[in-house]
Amino acid sequence: MIRRSPSKRISRGGLSFCLLIATLLCAPGGLVSAQDSTGQPEAGGTVAQQLDTVLVVRTGSPRQTLQSWLDHTRRAEILTERAIQEQTRANISRVSANARRLFAHLDLSRTPTAVRNEVGLRATYALHDILLRVALPPMEEVPEDWEPYEEEAPDKWRLPGTPIIFAQIEEGPRAGEFLFSATTVTDAPGFYNRISHLPVQQSSLFESWSDAAPQLTGPSIPAAFVERLPDNVKETLYGTPIWKIVFSIAALVIVLALFVFLRRWMTRNTPDSPFATKILRMLIPITGIALAWGLYWYLRMELIISGQFARILGYVISVVIYLALARLAWLTILAAFEWIIRSPKIPDQSLNANLLRLCARLLGFVSFVLVLALGAQSLGMPLFGVVAGLGFGGLAIALAIRPTLENLLGGLALFADKPVRVGDFCSFGERMGVVEEIGIRSTKIRALDRSLISVPNAHFVDMQLVNWARCDMRLILTEIGLRYETEPDQLRHVLATLREMLFAHPMIDGSTVRARFVGYGAHSLNVQIRAYALTPDWNEFLAIREDVFLRVNKIVAESGTSFAFPSQTLYLGRDGGLDEKLSEAAKEQVAVWRRAGTLPFPNTAAARIDELEGTLDFPPDGSVDETQPDDGSTTDRTPGQ
């Protein structure tokens, strides 16, 4: 019920408009306060006459706090009346500024941020109505000059006959000030309910703000509409009229439907770029935050819900907003790293790109947790408790996903050691193939049969890896078997000629040449040929090895011997046997070497090596890859052909 003094009457619609501004704009931040124990508070008449001056909040002692509260509530009534008569921006600004100063008298430090406005409003209404119904002591009896440094100086003062306590703040930016205690802020609505039947003893324009406030609405809801509503829907449920609860649920359904529609519209086309995908996904939490804030503004500034229902919705909207902010922080960090990966120097599927994505996820997870922790703190949960709980929860999760963590660490080991890179041909275990992707969890390799092998990083990093792409030269290693009829000097001729051919070959590293008689096989005299081809390319290596093998075949034939094979030879009288002419020529050549002291055993002379180096024609005469030295031009060479 709202009662006006005998000389004036205030319309309910005008009161709704002004109380909307005077109360709902109240907030703990931006307070104008002063701890002044020497200045005298302004009298009621002075307040009425000086509406354009700043009325300072005085909280230096219980007397100053009480007098300042009475002055500001009295000024709030006068400013409200003026704003009803003249709805100008200046009058509205004065009402809202004075409302914020009323909040400056309350200790809301223990109130969660998400519901601080609602709790402060209910306490303001209740304290205003209580002080209108109780007998206030003379101001000279209210403590004023306490010495805060005295050991026995009291830090609390109770208003006689009430549970209202003025308590001194011990720490923080307002330390030393006397405010309505946190307990008083919490208990004031309950105490007013017990004494609401008492008559008003102080002069006031309004009999009960606590009863009138739940029925107030914003400018978009006409007072005539509220007046025509049935009385049964005006009854309060959880501190809010039933009709407001229905409107709130309807507004919530509309906002959810709008969010679902916008989300589907924004995600109907998925971009190919990971960066563009992250940017598009960021619009979803941004939309959720905007809609949640819009719903909160409508419920608090137009519908003006109150009581426990308002606190519940405040918690829900705060949870939604902080979840959306956490999601937005996560996506923002991922998008920032994807923008870095777009650099031409970082291939999209390279190990560097995947490691950057891993760092982005870790940093995004940390930001996600921090935003949730701040949100939990705003809801009244202790920040350190939340962080500790997340820490234990993270430990439990880490134990549960140990294999995944092992793969992550394996990916980091691959990045640090870099045994293989994307595009390298490698052997691992009994398989080999080309590395196509090194991911956070696994490495994908295209095998020789074109199958795609996915190996978990934890296993891949422990394997023996052979990276063929890192070869600077490629090894030619083979063993040939000559027939047992080959005589020693004839064998020496084969070995010497093989070495000369390898030393003379322009695509063979002369320092690695080795052609040695290595043993007696079951059916042959075994000769091992070993040398490195001067190429890292596999196809070109095959071409060089092929040329060497063809030259070996020619050398063996020209030495008068041949390759052995597992068989039994039956000699008949009509068999001509070995070529005696060539055999004698080979032996004569070895004899010449021996007489001249140039027998190339056990090693070929260095001078002979220098003389032979690069003298063979390669590619061989008649080859499609043969270099044409006469005109300086060369034909195209295709490796492997």
* Pairwise CA distance, residues 47 & 168, whole Å: 26
* Pairwise CA distance, residues 192 & 131, whole Å: 10
* Residue in this structure with the two tokens 């359904």, named with its chain if needed: 253
- Would you say residue 289 lies in a domain? yes
Domain shared by 445 and 339, yes or no: no
Whether the Cβ atoms of residue 624 and residue 635 lie closer than 8 Å to each other: yes
The tokens for 575 are 């068999």
Backbone angles phi, psi at 208, to 5 degrees: -150, 110
- Would you say residue 623 lies in a domain? no
- Using a 10 angstrom Cβ sphere, with 0-12 exposed, 13-18 middle and 19 or more buried, the burial of residue 197 is exposed
Name the pairing type of β-strands 442-447 and 178-180. Answer: unpaired
- Using a 10 angstrom Cβ sphere, with 0-12 exposed, 13-18 middle and 19 or more buried, the burial of residue 158 is middle
Q: What is the reported pLDDT for 34?
A: 36
- Would you say residue 633 lies in a domain? no
For 346-441, list the strands marked E by DSSP. Answer: 425-428, 431-438
Domain shared by 135 and 249, yes or no: no
* Residue in this structure with the two tokens 């609505």, named with its chain if needed: 189
- Would you say residue 641 lies in a domain? no
Domain shared by 421 and 501, yes or no: no
Domain shared by 212 and 91, yes or no: yes
Q: List the one residue out of 335, 356, 334 whose CA is nearest residue 345.
A: 356
Domain shared by 40 and 76, yes or no: yes
Domain shared by 93 and 164, yes or no: yes
Looking at the structure of the chain, the number of domains it has is 4
Whether the Cβ atoms of residue 163 and residue 184 lie closer than 8 Å to each other: yes
Domain shared by 286 and 266, yes or no: yes
DSSP assignment letter at 511: G
CA atoms within 13 A on the CB side of 152: 0
Backbone angles phi, psi at 548, to 5 degrees: -65, -40
Q: Which helix (H) or strand (E) holds 178?
A: strand 178-180
- Would you say residue 619 lies in a domain? no
* Pairwise CA distance, residues 523 & 583, whole Å: 20
> Is the backbone of residue 239 left (phi > 0), alpha (psi -120 to 50) or beta?
left
Whether the Cβ atoms of residue 290 and residue 282 lie closer than 8 Å to each other: no
For 285-430, list the strands marked E by DSSP. Answer: 425-428
Full domain range(s) for residue 524: 472-568+577-612
Domain shared by 366 and 511, yes or no: no
Beta pairing partners, 157: 166
The tokens for 503 are 């030393």
Q: What is the reported pLDDT for 546?
A: 94
- Would you say residue 456 lies in a domain? yes
Whether the Cβ atoms of residue 468 and residue 536 lie closer than 8 Å to each other: no
Domain shared by 434 and 555, yes or no: no
* Pairwise CA distance, residues 68 & 359, whole Å: 55
Q: Which of 350, 376, 400 is the last residue of a domain?
A: 400
Q: What is the CATH number of the domain that holds 461?
A: 2.30.30.60
* Pairwise CA distance, residues 116 & 182, whole Å: 12
Domain shared by 190 and 154, yes or no: yes
The tokens for 245 are 């609860």
> Quick check: pTM over 0.75?
no
Domain shared by 465 and 476, yes or no: no
- Would you say residue 28 lies in a domain? yes
* Residue in this structure with the two tokens 């001729």, named with its chain if needed: 493
Q: What is the reported pLDDT for 227?
A: 76
Q: What is the reported pLDDT for 83?
A: 62
Domain shared by 307 and 394, yes or no: yes
- Would you say residue 7 lies in a domain? no
Whether the Cβ atoms of residue 533 and residue 476 lie closer than 8 Å to each other: yes
Q: Which of 356, 371, 400 is the last residue of a domain?
A: 400
In the chain (641 residues long), the average pLDDT of successive 10-residue segments reads: 38 43 39 35 44 75 89 81 63 72 86 76 84 88 67 75 88 87 88 86 74 68 76 82 89 92 83 77 90 86 77 86 91 85 68 72 83 78 58 56 66 73 84 82 85 83 81 90 91 93 93 93 92 89 93 92 76 66 89 89 87 84 63 45 38
Q: Which of 200, 223, 246 is the last residue of a domain?
A: 223
Q: What is the CATH number of the domain that holds 550?
A: 3.30.70.100
